[in-house]
Amino acid sequence: MPSSLEANDPTISRLIAQETQRQGSKIRLIPSENFVSSAVLEATGSALTNKYSEGYHGKRYYEGQEFIDQIEELAIDRAKDVFGSAHANVQPYSGSPANLAAYLAFCEPGDKIMGMHLPSGGHLTHGWKVSISGKFFNSVQYQVDKETGRIDLDHVREMAMKERPKVLWAGGTAVPRTIDFSAFAEIAKECGALFFADIAHIAGLIAGGAHPTPVGLADVVTTTTHKTLRGPRGGMIMASEEHAKAVDRAVFPGLQGGPHNHTTAALAVALHEAQQDSFKTYAHQIVSNAKALAARLSEHGFELVSGGTDNHLILIDLTNKELPGKVLAKALDRAGIVSNYNSVPYDTRKPFDPSGLRIGTPAVTTQGMGETEMVKIADWMNEVANSVGDEGLQERIAGEVREVCKAFPAPGTSGTCGTSAHTAA
């Protein structure tokens, strides 16, 4: 008997099945991607998508909120518990809207903001020129040190004292090293800035105790919920009690309409998973896996920005291999290994054809892979990089990748997940 989707829309049904199969049969190294549990998937696909709920618990603009209120309160309570935050807003649609809401809560157009330069690993919404944050605000940006590839806190301090921004951002999308949130908090205090921490990439590591937290140090902490945190696609803002009202008003009615209740419920489920001891194991294993992968890649002569990794992410500078990131990413994809080409600090190539490749270990860790598999993956990557035009080689490796994926089935792609690193709630 076909499912209702198969019967009603066989084309979309087939495409979803094909994408699901793609995810389950390739090694997914994009550091911002993951596999959610079947429980999170189930909540995401629930009838909650049918309901409008503008407002907050006790002050909604539609009737029929008796269950939605409970769901949103549970998500908030769990977020506060997992991150030790005084306040949490779970309504942002994703990371960029969460960051916009943070601006709306505290800034006026034209205010000066200071974030990390995109090619240094920052995010578009931290003041990059093509983003609304770079257009509506007066943006100044710090870069990583050219020699070390790391954030130079003396440079950040010097620039912040000179520029006196309204907001100082820490966090980004291609930062392979531990972020010293205490140092950023001190700099923000010294120069009179508000400190915004964007933990989108590392939220799961923080929840699992594998990275220091900015909660309690930053005025505002924003995050997506679908990266290492392993929840549905969404966003969240955490703040002290002092800033709670401003944050809530900025999200609604300032920026958004009705919250996506199916996402809120799925986030509550993911946060429940993050409360389990097994989540700590998962978070620490992500880092161990990334270190093992980085070490083996270095042995193969890959040059890693900053020399390695402290977290889930590795940024490879392919300049010494005379190989553009895009060429290697496409060859790897044919070999069943999915990555993304990415700018490296001080890149001389264009963002759409950059010098780097960005990889990470959240998804493979969720599948239960460990250091042994990371060494194998690095060896495959090296083989592909040494002969990017060899389609026979890529086909052989794609077959071997499929076998490995069969041994480490991903939740939601095969209906099972027999791994110690994953909690199916």
Rg of the chain over Cα atoms, rounded to whole angstroms, equals 21
How far is the C-alpha of 300 from the C-alpha of 362, rounded, in Å? 22
Annotation says 317 is catalytic? no
Nearer to ligand DSN (CB atom), residue 80 or residue 233: 233
Return phi, psi of residue 417, to 5°: -155, 95
- Laid out side by side, the sheet with 356-360 consists of 303-304, 313-317, 356-360, 340-342
> Distance of CA 423 to CAs 292, 353, 373, 386, Å?
23, 38, 21, 38
Q: Of 51, 150, 157, 233, which residue is the catalytic one?
A: 233
Q: Of 125, 173, 213, 224, which residue is the catalytic one?
A: 224
What is the enclosing helix (H) or strand (E) of 142?
A: strand 138-142
CA 266 from centroid of its chain's CA atoms: 17
Nearer to ligand DSN (CB atom), residue 76 or residue 293: 293
Q: Of 6, 52, 334, 371, which residue is the catalytic one?
A: 52
Q: Of 227, 230, 321, 326, which residue is the catalytic one?
A: 227
Annotation says 198 is catalytic? yes
Q: Of 72, 198, 310, 347, which residue is the catalytic one?
A: 198
Q: How far is the CB of 311 from ligand DSN (least distance, A)?
A: 13
Nearer to ligand DSN (CB atom), residue 173 or residue 289: 173
Nearer to ligand DSN (CB atom), residue 76 or residue 197: 197
Q: How far is the CB of 29 from ligand DSN (least distance, A)?
A: 12
Helices (H), 84-214: 95-106, 132-136, 153-163, 181-191, 203-207
Tokens linked to 205: 């590591």
Nearer to ligand DSN (CB atom), residue 173 or residue 281: 173
Annotation says 22 is catalytic? no
How far is the C-alpha of 81 from the C-alpha of 248, rounded, in Å? 19
Q: How far is the CB of 121 from ligand DSN (least distance, A)?
A: 10
Residue with the two structure tokens 């909660």: 215
Chain residue at closest Cβ approach to ligand DSN: 32
CB 28 within 8 A of CB 359: no
Annotation says 54 is catalytic? yes
Q: How far is the CB of 95 from ligand DSN (least distance, A)?
A: 6
Nearer to ligand DSN (CB atom), residue 95 or residue 368: 95
Annotation says 224 is catalytic? yes
Q: What amino acid occupies position 301?
A: G
Annotation says 52 is catalytic? yes
Residue ranges binding ligand DSN (CB under 6 A): 32, 95, 123, 173
Q: How far is the CB of 344 from ligand DSN (least distance, A)?
A: 15
Which of these, 161, 228, 225, 154, lies nearest to 188 by C-alpha position? Answer: 161
Q: How far is the CB of 129 from ligand DSN (least distance, A)?
A: 17
CB 366 within 8 A of CB 282: yes
Q: Of 6, 33, 42, 54, which residue is the catalytic one?
A: 54
> Distance of CA 303 to CAs 88, 239, 375, 419, Å?
39, 38, 16, 32
Q: How far is the CB of 30 from ligand DSN (least distance, A)?
A: 7
How far is the C-alpha of 320 from the C-alpha of 355, rounded, in Å? 10
Nearer to ligand DSN (CB atom), residue 122 or residue 208: 122
Indicate which residues carry an active-site annotation.
Answer: 52, 54, 198, 224, 227, 233
